[in-house]
């Protein structure tokens, strides 16, 4: 735990907040900021905190708050749970719509908590799998309180993450975890990673019917921890008895780059003339593959499915190129991640199994061991939404 925040606490600024009632309903409106009374040994001071209310081992919630400077002999504690909270939100790369959405969610959380927004930084290209390392290292040098990362570098990020952890920085991964769990405080999983394989298998069956056929995967970058875990779980499900008619013939990588993904989709249909479906577990890849099949006039022969953003997929769902795809809310993911990171950085949430905290309108979460990795802790957000012509909107 980073001690600098705790050491900022002076007598009378320990605010005991009543745990807000969590609500797991995604549509729930934002919980009102928690207002508490704080007493000082020197003076009585009213304190208002918009902190995330966190408990560990169901103990009473304790939120640590900073104080503002005393004015005219009276201490005024504007307990904003750390107005000087510094953090970076590090996507795999910039320029991808869903990561911008995560940033919107993080900004919403920062506003509710009354703390500074995260600096949204990352490599310009997702092809650069080690590009995130310098951003982590720089954040350590800057001495930020928290690093929120969607890992695009597999295990190569481990030394930098460990360095951050050693410096007392809360490292919260979101979207794509640190596979080894090294140095990571918590992973905010958008959905259960094993469920992802099942959802992709179900969509394949729904689209291809009993006849099945050849399918191929168009992934993001080869080192993306999330896609690699989803592909492994998809392959495991496909190996089961119910999917004998489906044959996975190839896996290619478009590096979350629209043009590269488009070209990879075209290369797949050249290499596999009997291909029936391209499964792309990436919002960039699925839209590019659907466009490629549309441009080639192949949508009746080769279907596209995977994980896509409704706004980017609507046309292809309506014209039959991509009849079904799935996703979760990236706004909510960024929002939840920010609450978790801030609570951990301020010592209000211990990153250990059984720790619970309330992430504003998203409700209460309990930290568990991540069953999809050998080592690591997670909370699971959800839900998965499967989209088709009936609910894609527009």
Whose Cβ is closer to ligand RAM: residue 307's or residue 377's? 307
User: Where do contacts with ligand RAM occur on this chain (CB under 6 A)?
Assistant: 92, 96, 98, 150, 175-176, 220, 224, 226, 256, 282-284, 307
State the CB neighbour count (10 A cutoff) for residue 275.
Answer: 21
Q: In angstroms, what is the minimal distance from the CB of 279 to ligand RAM?
A: 12
Q: In angstroms, what is the minimal distance from the CB of 98 to ligand RAM?
A: 4
3-state secondary structure of 385: strand
Q: In angstroms, what is the minimal distance from the CB of 311 to ligand RAM?
A: 13
Contacts of 253 (CB under 8 A, 6+ apart): 218, 219, 220, 221, 222, 264
Whose Cβ is closer to ligand RAM: residue 204's or residue 282's? 282
Rg over CA atoms, the chain: 23
Q: In angstroms, what is the minimal distance from the CB of 176 to ligand RAM?
A: 5
Whose Cβ is closer to ligand RAM: residue 203's or residue 350's? 203
Whose Cβ is closer to ligand RAM: residue 118's or residue 126's? 126
Q: In angstroms, what is the minimal distance from the CB of 383 to ligand RAM?
A: 15
Whose Cβ is closer to ligand RAM: residue 246's or residue 284's? 284
Contacts of 238 (CB under 8 A, 6+ apart): 201, 246, 248
Contacts of 297 (CB under 8 A, 6+ apart): none
Sign of the torsion angle spanned by Cα atoms 141, 144, 145, 146: negative
Q: Which residue has the tokens 């992430």?
A: 359
3-state secondary structure of 264: helix
* Consecutive H or E run containing 226: helix 225-238
Whose Cβ is closer to ligand RAM: residue 102's or residue 160's? 102
Q: In angstroms, what is the minimal distance from the CB of 221 to ligand RAM?
A: 8
3-state secondary structure of 363: coil
> Could you say which DSSP state residue 240 is in?
S
Q: In angstroms, what is the minimal distance from the CB of 191 to ligand RAM?
A: 10
Sign of the torsion angle spanned by Cα atoms 384, 104, 128, 375: negative
State the CB neighbour count (10 A cutoff) for residue 29.
Answer: 9
Whose Cβ is closer to ligand RAM: residue 1's or residue 232's? 232
């Amino acid at each position: 735990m980073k001690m600098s925040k705790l050491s900022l606490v002076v007598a009378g600024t320990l605010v005991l907040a009543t745990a807000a009632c969590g609500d797991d309903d995604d549509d729930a409106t934002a919980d009102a900021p928690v207002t508490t009374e704080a007493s000082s040994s020197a003076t009585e001071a009213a304190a208002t905190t918009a902190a995330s209310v966190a408990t560990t081992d169901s103990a009473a919630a304790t939120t640590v708050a900073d104080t503002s400077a005393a004015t005219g002999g009276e201490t005024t504690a504007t307990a904003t749970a750390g107005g000087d909270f510094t953090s970076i939100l590090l996507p795999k790369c910039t320029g991808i719509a869903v990561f911008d959405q995560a940033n919107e969610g993080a900004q919403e959380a920062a506003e509710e908590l009354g703390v500074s927004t995260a600096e949204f930084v990352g490599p310009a290209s997702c092809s650069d799998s080690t590009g995130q390392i310098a951003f982590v290292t720089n954040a350590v040098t800057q001495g930020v309180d928290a690093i929120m990362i969607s890992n695009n570098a597999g295990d190569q990020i481990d030394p930098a993450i460990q360095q951050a952890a050693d410096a007392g920085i809360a490292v919260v991964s979101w979207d794509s975890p640190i596979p080894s769990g090294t140095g990571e405080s918590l992973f905010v999983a958008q959905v259960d990673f094993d469920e992802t394989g099942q959802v992709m298998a179900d969509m394949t069956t729904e689209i291809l019917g009993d006849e099945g056929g050849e399918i191929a995967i168009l992934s993001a970058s080869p080192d993306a921890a999330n896609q690699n875990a989803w592909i492994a779980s998809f392959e495991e499900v496909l190996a089961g008895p119910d999917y004998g008619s489906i044959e996975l013939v190839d896996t290619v990588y478009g590096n979350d780059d629209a043009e590269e993904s488009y070209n990879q989709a075209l290369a797949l249909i050249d290499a596999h003339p009997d291909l029936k479906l391209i499964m792309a577990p990436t919002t960039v890849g699925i839209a590019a593959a659907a466009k490629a099949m549309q441009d080639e006039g192949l949508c009746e022969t080769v279907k596209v499915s995977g994980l896509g953003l409704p706004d980017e997929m609507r046309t292809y769902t309506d014209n039959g190129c991509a009849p079904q795809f799935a996703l979760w809310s990236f706004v909510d993911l960024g929002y939840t991640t920010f609450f978790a990171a801030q609570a951990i950085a301020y010592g209000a949430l211990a990153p250990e199994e059984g720790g619970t905290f309330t992430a504003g309108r998203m409700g209460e979460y309990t930290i568990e061991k991540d069953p999809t990795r050998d080592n690591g802790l997670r909370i699971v957000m959800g839900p998965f939404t499967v989209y088709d012509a009936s609910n894609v909107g527009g």
